[in-house]
Amino acid sequence: MFQDIINRLTFLPRWVIILIDLSVIALSLGLAFFMRFNFNVNTIDMFDPSYSIPIALFISLISTLLTKSYAGIVRYTGIQDAVRILYTEFLSLSFLIILNLIYFYNVGKNLIPYSVLFISFFVSSLLLYQYRLIVKSVFSYYKSSFPNKIPVLIFGAGVAGFLTKQAIEADMTGQYKLIAFLDDDVKKNRKDINGTKIYSYDKLPELVLKHKIKKIIIAVKNLSIERKNEIVDDALNHLIRVSYVTSFDKWLRNDWDVKEIRDVNIEDLLGREVIKLDNKSIETEISGKVIFITGGAGSIGSELARQVLSYKPHTLVLIDQAESPLYEIERELRAKNQQTKLFVFVANVCNKSRIRKIFNEFKPHTLFHAAAYKHVPLMESNPSEAVSVNIFGTKLLADLAVEFRVQKFVMISTDKAVNPTNVMGCTKRIAEIYVQSLNRHLEKTGMGKTSFVTTRFGNVLGSNGSVIPIFKEQIKKGGPITVTHPEITRFFMTIPEACELVIEAGVMGYGGEIFIFDMGKPVKIFDLARKMIKLSGKELNKDIEIVFTGLRDGEKLYEELLSDQENTIPTHHEKILKAKVSEYQYDEVCRNLDLLEEFIDDKNEHKMVTLMKEVVPEYKSSYSRFEALDIAH
């Protein structure tokens, strides 16, 4: 019953807080008079407290209104409230000293003895803060008796951990019961924070067993991804949920919203450390310029648009076929930046007249080419579409870039272009070959000033069609989770990280390079699915099963970033490497593309794929109807 009363209790009106504060100050003044004059009423009467105390209270009211010391929520009282009270009382003391000086000048005696003023200052400051702490403690005491509270541990006994403890204690729903802190710093072992013990991390199993811990809250700023993964793995092995604090900003403003504590998800564990960018070079390359982004409504293209916009280009042009997503990203970007001119075009990158018209109107300085068909099984079934968009769409954009003297053309490729086993990967490799050979041709002939740069990376977390959104949906439905093969692995990178590296590589490239990104260690998809099940609070084979469906058309077990004939050269950026790749003659590439275009028109898929295998000898089909072509060849 008391819990219901506490939950329904609203904040006290501010006038009530002011009235209580003035009552405490009046009590402090009375005590100060008695203390100063040893409880001698006759001596006190000489200073007429019935006249001086109301004046002092009026000045205290003015100081309170000026500093708004009443504004803090009493049950959330913290250090900031103590500072505000001290400031208010110091302001009142200053006003009263000035008033005393004026009174003495006119009457010849003090209105209130200075000793009384200083005693009152210390007593009122102490009592005003103390009664707030008492109210806070009463709330905390009754909330601690609420049933069904979740016993939790906080990892991190620093300032962030202390703020998390305060947020838990201030939470009116009383959903958490803080048992202890865990910390890697052995010097903090067995100490406490406001009565809550700190233990070394190796005490986790013991605390879990003793207190039936249900959750660990990570409260450490800038905790490394490796350490976060270790904590999560340990917690999941003990069947404990893991949360972390998304931001401490609200808490620093005394807004103790426990919604800042959020469950860890798989993206938090696959991300990596913050990337250091050469912001000055990027700003020089983008600020005040006209920037084109093809595929601007896609996962990569839309994030590129967000990041490019932050460098304040003069004009940003987005091109995509997807009408609804393009509309959404347009709305988002217009709300963020009113200075940059933003234009969006629903257009197919294979439509020569349409794309030429856009180039002619805006004359871009830099073009980020993210438009492509990317889904392997779909493109295996529709190879002519993959060839049209991924190869000839790229060729059209590259040729127009030369014609309109675009300074930088940044193509976004994929790890599936390395030793391709599917049509999609091979089309991206041929697109790489074309832009690289075109760049070399321009360097030799001096016929153009466009620099062509290619970036190559693996899967991005949360992109359209990636496994993580699919697994989340399957878990939400109660399973099963479908995995193609128990040994299949993939590289993963967050979308923001991939786009940051694309921009950085685009700026550092002089032309003709293929940059590959440090994708970290490959992740086994089965392990990924298993961890996602645990993170959702469910058990494998009890709540949700994993079903193996077999490799799909064109799919391979292991993705690569370099072929067997390639190696890398380091760059100034630790996460960006330059690939040394086999180079092709521009004239030969053009002849093959002319022939390939004829095969598209003839709708002869086998001839088309056979020619692709001749252009890219390392292309060997896997789990595909085109495997027969490899045998015949």
Please calculate the CA angle 600-605-609 and round it to the nearest 5 degrees: 95
Nearest CA to 230 among 201, 197, 260? 201
Q: Which of 416, 428, 556, 575 is catalytic?
A: 416
What is the Cα–Cα distance from 360 to 368, expressed in whole angstroms?
Answer: 17
Asked if 492 and 462 touch (Cβ cutoff 8 Å), the reply is: no
Nearest CA to 318 among 353, 335, 342, 352? 342
Q: Which amino acid is at 118?
A: F
- Please report how the helices 14-36 and 49-67 are oriented relative to each other, as an axis angle in degrees rounded to 10: 140
What is the Cα–Cα distance from 396 to 541, expressed in whole angstroms?
Answer: 51
Tell me whether the omega of the peptide bond preceding residue 480 falls within 30 degrees of 0, making it cis: yes
What is the Cα–Cα distance from 567 to 563, expressed in whole angstroms?
Answer: 8
Asked if 535 and 270 touch (Cβ cutoff 8 Å), the reply is: no
Question: For residue 323, how many other CB atoms are within 10 A of its CB?
Answer: 11
* Region for 520 from its dihedrals, namely left if φ exceeds 0, alpha if ψ lies in -120 to 50, beta otherwise: left
Residue 455 bridge partners (DSSP): 412, 515
480 DSSP 8-state letter: P
Please calculate the CA angle 232-476-331 and round it to the nearest 5 degrees: 95
187 catalytic? Reply is no
Say which residue the tokens 């991939």 belong to: 498
The strand order across the sheet containing 241-245 reads 192-193, 196-200, 176-183, 150-155, 215-218, 241-245, 261-263
Q: Which residues are catalytic?
A: 416
